[in-house]
Amino acid sequence: MGDTKKACLICGEELNYLKHGIDMECEFCHKKYNSNASCVHGHYVCDSCHGKQAIERIREICLTSNSTDPLEIAVHMMNDPYVHMHGNEHHVLVGAALLAAFYNAGGKIELTGAFEELRKRGSQVPGGVCGFWGCCGAAVSSGIFISIITGSTPLSIDEWGLANRMTSASLKAIGEVGGARCCKRDSFLAIEQAIYFCREHLGVAMKKSNIQCQFFNRNKQCIGSRCPYNKHYAEF
Ligand SMILES: [Zn+2]
Ligand SMILES: [Zn+2]
């Protein structure tokens, strides 16, 4: 994780950065964009395709994992090279890790359909809403998870209450730590709250591992010793 050099997602070679952007053709959609990063072989992937690939990988892991530990599943997803250090793919990732673990722990859901619904809803939550709306997208993703597994709609009574209380519990935990935002820390906090919430309200016990952040080297705004998951601050 200490390696900050980025590798090409197509061939694994190192990326070259130009001083001035030039038009490059995306390897996936073949649209041209002005960019200043490509690999030594000229491979370039546009932001939109990068995001789509990230969600595809998250989907794959969600549908194939056997784990009942959503934090472990989330770390697996976060380690995929298409998943950025920060980014709105976490608004799908949190709910996807939870759906998978909930299903594997005996939760009665149809996983593929549940993921598709999550993808649709989570993708609508823009980046930066933590700071601009006072409503972190990782927390919203935990609320979407509860909404989907309980079948909540705007007209539901108990399910509506549960979904809103879920988002609120995650936001409280995230808010109490304070910023700057970190999509890893905020995802872990939301997932932990969802584990407690499902035990208490839905009678499904997902496993909860102890997280030690492996991503701090990649986070320019890491809050160090203030982060509940940063046990390595002394080496930082
Ligand atoms: Zn390449
Ligand atoms: Zn593209």
Segment 11-49, tens digit of pLDDT: 988 888 888 999 999 999 999 999 988 999 999 998 889
Give this prediction's pTM.
Answer: 0.90
Residues, Cβ < 5 Å to ion ligand 1:
8, 10-11, 13, 39, 41, 43
Q: How far apart are CA 79 and CA 149, in angstroms?
A: 26
pLDDT at residue 231, rounded to an integer: 74
pLDDT at 232 over 80: no
Tell me the CA–centroid distance for residue 102 and ligand 2, in Å: 33
> Helix, strand, coil: what percent of the chain each, to 5?
50, 10, 40
Query: In whole numbers, what is the pLDDT of the chain averaged over residues?
Result: 93
Confidence grade of residue 5 (pLDDT, cut at 50, 70, 90): low
Tell me the CA–centroid distance for residue 29 and ligand 1, in Å: 16
Angle between helix 111-122 and 137-150 (nearest 10): 140
Taking alpha carbons only, the member of 210, 188, 206 closest to residue 197 is: 206
pLDDT at 234 over 60: no
Output DSSP code: residue 74: H
Question: Mean pLDDT, to the nearest integer, of 173-178?
Answer: 98
pLDDT at residue 17, rounded to an integer: 85
Tell me the CA–centroid distance for residue 13 and ligand 2, in Å: 19
Instruction: Read off the tokens for 27.
Output: 């390897």
Tell me the CA–centroid distance for residue 226 and ligand 2, in Å: 38
Tell me the CA–centroid distance for residue 51 and ligand 2, in Å: 9
